[in-house]
A and B are shown apart, each in its own frame.
Chain A
Amino acid sequence: MTSNHSTTNIVIAGLGGQGIITASDILAETAFRAGFDVKKSELHGMSQRGGSVTSDVRFGERVLSPMVPAGETDVLLVLEPTQIEMNRPLLRADGVLLTTDVIPPGALKNKKSLNVAMLGALSSVLEIDEAHWLEAIHAHLAAKLHRLNDEAFALGRRSAQTD
């Protein structure tokens, strides 16, 4: 799952309020704990008022620019169906698109953990130890949310593997 520079490029897209930035924080932390060089970038600002948000995470042996060049995204993770087409050009030709379709309807207990469920789906296509994912989730979310999000992560991971 790497492009020519031996850097893995992930873009997470959705709308303000969906936890896109939290998701990319967790992903970056996971890759960092797994021993990679990591960079993560997005534009803050107006995003909190419901506008489109994308966040780029890159990891590998040595990452240079923090932004994923258009057309070089290995995995595009989209949390909101209306945001798929607009972001599709970011993918490289044989890149992977993961949408909320991987989560079986009604299976998610709490809509707020969709971001973590989608990380579960992402985890099934990246070769990073599951323990690093869970550590990163726990480091970024309050203790009382750990169980809910562990379950969401497991759901996404399971669903994508059997997809």
Chain B
Amino acid sequence: MKADLSNPPRQLLSGDDAVALAALHAGTALGIGYPGTPSTEILETFDRLDGRAQWSPNEKTALEVGIGVAFAGARALVTMKHVGLNVAADPLFTAAYTDVDGGLIIVSADDPGMASSQNEQDNRHYARAAGLPMLEPVDSQQAYDFTWLGFELSERWKIPVLLRLTTRVCHSLTPVLPRAPITPKAADFRRDVPARVMIPAFAKPAHHRLRTKLAEIAAWNEAEGPLHIEMGNQALGIISTGISAMHAREAAPEASHLSFGLTYPLPIERIRAWATQFERVLVVEEGDPMLVEELRAAGISVESKTERFRFSELDVARVRRIITGDDSEEPAPPQGKPPELCPGCSHRTVFHALRELDCIVAGDIGCYTLGVLPPFSAMDTCVCMGASITTGLGLRHALPEAQARRVVSVIGDSTFVHSGLTGLAEMAYNPPPTGHLVIILDNETTAMTGQQEHPGTGRSLDHSRAARMDFVAVGQAMGIKHVELIDEAAKDVDLKACIAECLARDETALIIVRQPCVLAAPKIRLYEKTAAAATSETS
């Protein structure tokens, strides 16, 4: 049972829950996103608080729906993990040119240290690249406050706002004092073609408008943007943002500290004025040395961390090293027991078969990525969501025939809906000479991130009934030659023989292996029962 969030005053909340609560209090009309650690809980909590929340097939579709909500004059919260913003980058860059009427916040939950991600990209770059303001909270209170502030800035300048969280902000519990909720203004369509139709004739002035907005926001940040100063001695001044600010204050309680919340566009003159007071000024930032480079480019003389600290997340011990200039080898973190596929997990059978057949496996992202580890050791590639199908096709196109025949692409059901559909179209359209085989591991949930629904489960975020995508029909409609649905629970199917048969043909094939995730199965039965009862009541 989770803590009761609907009942102020002060509560202990995770950063994710704080964003959800603020979204509710600030009158958000729709929360929409795609699951991804560490962002997933935002929409789950928003739904639990009776906010209107939806899982979208992927981050691009989520952001586009959010843009529509904001064009309608209502507030939208779009959530995703850092790599999700790559998927949503196309709408992001052009939404920056448009005028939104309702506030639009895009949460990018970054994962420095890769607790549960395939890379540790630093999404502060996106604020610069797209030209969008970025807020970075240090704790749950700021996550709450900056969600409010994000909507205010977004509506004042009619611009989408990036709210960048990191794993430790998302998942740490810290106290939050909420404010009084407001009633949202009603949505209403306002026609504004030059601000919303990005053909070159309108986009050219729109780009100029964007730069003007950013200049005004920078001036606001200089005058009254959120900024926190703790004055200590004059020997050392530390400039930091996000969770690093907390590590820095603990690591050097005697030093002076400056941190600020709107990290793009920077309050450069405030930083310059503050920095003149100290013998040494040091920038403490997680990830890429971005802030330090920008301050130096502005002619502010600051010290930086060494290259070693670009990697992984910071903590108090590492910040102490940065302060003392200790660049020696760091102690290796303790090697814990690695995770493994649950006993009875349906993915196990498939990887056993693939291993026995000595397949070259183009893999994808989900629980099943654990198929790369012993005892299966049955995965050869994993890049990003959806890449299994297309990377597998590339391997088939280039490898000598004997090897090409062994290539199989393996993809989860949620991942297939997220970004496997276009890959399947590619396979039907440009089949390799040896054909190809894609296996969808349909465990009827998004298991990896904690069992979220998606269009293939036929249930919405709140587990009520929704339209269900039929993978067999999709494969056939796309023009895949052989499409087969295998119910793993049925005792008489020989999965290995079925795979071998597909590999022997020079044609395209899709096998859907269906069996619910063992952890999710009891809940799925319950959702189905509840949904069936609801349908019989209304009919």
Query: Which A residues are within 8 Å of any B CB, using their own CB?
Result: 5, 15-16, 25, 28-29, 32, 37-52, 54, 63-67, 69-70, 82-83, 86-87, 89, 139-142
The chain B residue sitting closest to A44, CB to CB, is: B171
Are B334 and A89 within 8 A (Cβ)?
yes
Are B115 and A39 within 8 A (Cβ)?
no
Chain B residues with CB below 8 A from A66, complex form: 139, 168, 172-174, 243, 246
The reply to whether the CB of B433 lies closer than 8 angstroms to some CB of chain A is no
The reply to whether the CB of B335 lies closer than 8 angstroms to some CB of chain A is yes
The chain B residue sitting closest to A54, CB to CB, is: B336
Contact among B37, B250, B334, B370 for A64, CB-based, below 8 A: B250
Are B334 and A49 within 8 A (Cβ)?
no
The reply to whether the CB of B1 lies closer than 8 angstroms to some CB of chain A is yes
Interface 1/0 per residue, B358-381 and A, CB below 8 Å = 000000000100100000000000
B49 to chain A, nearest CB (A): 17
Are B334 and A46 within 8 A (Cβ)?
no
Are B115 and A38 within 8 A (Cβ)?
no
Contact among B1, B173, B367 for A38, CB-based, below 8 A: B173
Are A83 and B168 within 8 A (Cβ)?
no
Given contacts A45-B115, A64-B250, A65-B250, whether A40 and B172 have CB atoms under 8 Å apart is yes
Are A51 and B115 within 8 A (Cβ)?
no
A89 to chain B, nearest CB (A): 7
A148 to chain B, nearest CB (A): 14
Q: Which 7 A-B pairs have the closest CB atoms?
A: A52-B336, A45-B116, A51-B339, A66-B172, A49-B339, A64-B250, A46-B339
Are A69 and B316 within 8 A (Cβ)?
yes
Contact among B316, B331, B339 for A47, CB-based, below 8 A: B339
Are A51 and B338 within 8 A (Cβ)?
yes
B319 to chain A, nearest CB (A): 9
Are B339 and A43 within 8 A (Cβ)?
no
Are A38 and B175 within 8 A (Cβ)?
yes
Query: Complex formed: what's the CA distance from A40 to B115 in Å?
Result: 17
Query: Complex formed: what's the CA distance from A47 to B403 in Å?
Result: 36
Are A43 and B171 within 8 A (Cβ)?
yes
Are B175 and A37 within 8 A (Cβ)?
yes
Query: Complex formed: what's the CA distance from A111 to B178 in Å?
Result: 38
A146 to chain B, nearest CB (A): 11
Specify which of B247, B250, B331, B450 lies most central, judged by the most chain A CB atoms within 10 Å of its CB: B250
Chain A residues with CB below 8 A from B331, complex form: 70
The reply to whether the CB of B519 lies closer than 8 angstroms to some CB of chain A is yes
B288 to chain A, nearest CB (A): 21
Chain A residues with CB below 8 A from B3, complex form: 25, 29, 139-140
Interface 1/0 per residue, B32-62 and A, CB below 8 Å = 0000011000000000000000000000000
Specify which of A51, A82, A89 lies most central, judged by the most chain B CB atoms within 10 Å of its CB: A51
The chain A residue sitting closest to B174, CB to CB, is: A39
The DSSP consensus for interface residues of chain A is mixed
Interface 1/0 per residue, B1-18 and A, CB below 8 Å = 111100000001000000
Are B370 and A38 within 8 A (Cβ)?
no
Chain A residues with CB below 8 A from B175, complex form: 32, 37-38
The DSSP consensus for interface residues of chain B is loop
The chain B residue sitting closest to A47, CB to CB, is: B339
Contact among B1, B37, B335 for A45, CB-based, below 8 A: B37
Are A51 and B12 within 8 A (Cβ)?
no
Are B173 and A49 within 8 A (Cβ)?
no
The reply to whether the CB of B534 lies closer than 8 angstroms to some CB of chain A is no
Chain A residues with CB below 8 A from B339, complex form: 16, 46-51
A87 to chain B, nearest CB (A): 7
Specify which of B172, B175, B331, B367 lies most central, judged by the most chain A CB atoms within 10 Å of its CB: B172
Interface 1/0 per residue, B171-210 and A, CB below 8 Å = 1111100000000000000000000000000000000000
- 27 A-B Cβ contacts within 8 A? A5-B250, A5-B253, A15-B337, A38-B12, A38-B175, A39-B139, A40-B173, A42-B171, A43-B171, A44-B116, A45-B115, A46-B338, A49-B367, A49-B370, A52-B337, A54-B336, A64-B247, A65-B243, A66-B139, A66-B172, A66-B173, A67-B315, A69-B315, A69-B316, A70-B317, A70-B331, A140-B2
Chain A residues with CB below 8 A from B2, complex form: 140
Are A51 and B337 within 8 A (Cβ)?
yes
B349 to chain A, nearest CB (A): 17
The reply to whether the CB of B342 lies closer than 8 angstroms to some CB of chain A is yes
Chain B residues with CB below 8 A from A69, complex form: 250, 315-317
Are A87 and B334 within 8 A (Cβ)?
yes
Chain A residues with CB below 8 A from B370, complex form: 49
Query: Complex formed: what's the CA distance from A46 to B331 in Å?
Result: 23
Query: Complex formed: what's the CA distance from A23 to B1 in Å?
Result: 12
Are B340 and A49 within 8 A (Cβ)?
yes
Are B450 and A46 within 8 A (Cβ)?
no
Contact among B1, B139, B450 for A142, CB-based, below 8 A: B1
Query: Complex formed: what's the CA distance from A32 to B317 in Å?
Result: 26
Query: Complex formed: what's the CA distance from A67 to B334 in Å?
Result: 15
Contact among A32, A65, A83 for B246, CB-based, below 8 A: A65
The reply to whether the CB of B463 lies closer than 8 angstroms to some CB of chain A is no
Contact among B246, B250, B342, B367 for A50, CB-based, below 8 A: B342
Specify which of B168, B249, B370 lies most central, judged by the most chain A CB atoms within 10 Å of its CB: B168
Chain A residues with CB below 8 A from B38, complex form: 44-45
Chain B residues with CB below 8 A from A38, complex form: 12, 173-175
